[in-house]
Amino acid sequence: MADDIKQLSAQLAQDPHSLVFLRLGELLRQRRQFEVAQRVATNGLERHPHLADAHDLLARIQADRHDYEHAFDEWDMTLRIAPGHTGALKGLAFLYFKVGDLAQAEAHLQEAKKYDPEDPAVEQALAMVRGGTPAAEGGPAEGVPAPAAPLAARGAEPLPEERIFAGLEGAQEGLLLLDAAGRVLGGALRSADGQDATQAVAAYLAGVSQEAGRTAKLLQLGGWVGLSAEGPQGNIHLTAPTDDALLLVVRDRSVPMGRLAVIAQRAALIARRWLERQA
């Protein structure tokens, strides 16, 4: 394997645009050289940003490094590029499984099965998610990261409903869900000096959804889907999970606007489900 790595590295050095980085990154991942593997995958992605397999590779490396937040984003991106990518579907299923969302885990595995009905790893994973047959000996099949055990099996409590964004990065300081009148439904925000800024920001955002909607309508642009803004110390993204709710996501400038939009979409999905449960 070491020789393979040397050979592939040499090939990549000769032709940096070659897709050989996919095999090299995977070999390095298998050898648990995660830092180098991630560098190879990231460099490859810079040259091939629309290559679904490259996003999938990076996601697997990140999942192995327990960087689930970024792994989610990369698998999410993989599916945007290639909606039937079974590696990404299995990967997302794993992540949902990790946080105890068994319904989503099963839905993603069912979707993977549609595209690859012969994949035994999907069957094994489905059996685990349903709490039926335990996984086969020797761990999960290639492409499916190995969860230690379902959260339910470890006796974990379900996520409390009042913590709408529990489990999401920045749930208590960079996510805010408001109703149409600017009343806080969930989440919290902190100012640069660490003070609670939730109510002040909520008050300023009251009516923004309607204003964005009117502006888009006036320009005959259809419904508004997102409003992002850059600031000197951070970026924000606003979206409307439902007609009468507004979701704000705030992150520092190290989080690019595109990724912020992905985080916002994911949070909006969670918020929508939570709002539906309250109805």
Partner 1 sequence: MTASVYESALSRITGVRGVRGAMMVSLSDGLVVAEQLMEGIKGAAVAALAASLANRLGRAMEGGGVGRGVFWHLQAERGALLAVPARAGLLVVAVAEPGVNAGLVRLELLRAAESVS
Residues that bind partner 1 (CB under 8 A): 189-193, 197, 200-201, 204-205, 207-208, 211-212, 214-216, 218-236, 248, 250, 252, 257
CB of 236 to partner 1, least distance (A): 6
What is 174-190 written as a DSSP string? EEEEEETTS-EEEEEEB
Neighbours of 35 (CB within 10 A): 10
Name the minimum Å distance from CB 11 to partner 1: 32
CB of residue 207 to partner 1, shortest distance in Å? 7
SS3 state at 231: coil
CB of 252 to partner 1, least distance (A): 8
Closer residue to partner 1 in complex, CB, 77/212: 212
**Residue number with CB closer to partner 1 (84 or 207):** 207
Q: Which is nearer to partner 1, 10 or 221 (CB)?
A: 221
Cα separation, 268 vs 160, in Å, equals 18
Please spell the DSSP secondary structure of 32-68, one letter per residue.
Answer: T-HHHHHHHHHHHHHH-TT-HHHHHHHHHHHHHTT-H
- Amino acid at residue number 20: V
Smallest separation, CB 274 to partner 1 (Å):
22
Closest CB to partner 1 among residues 95, 177: 177
Q: How far apart are CA 28 and CA 202, in angstroms?
A: 47
Residue 100's nearest CA partner among 166, 162, 38, 37 is 166
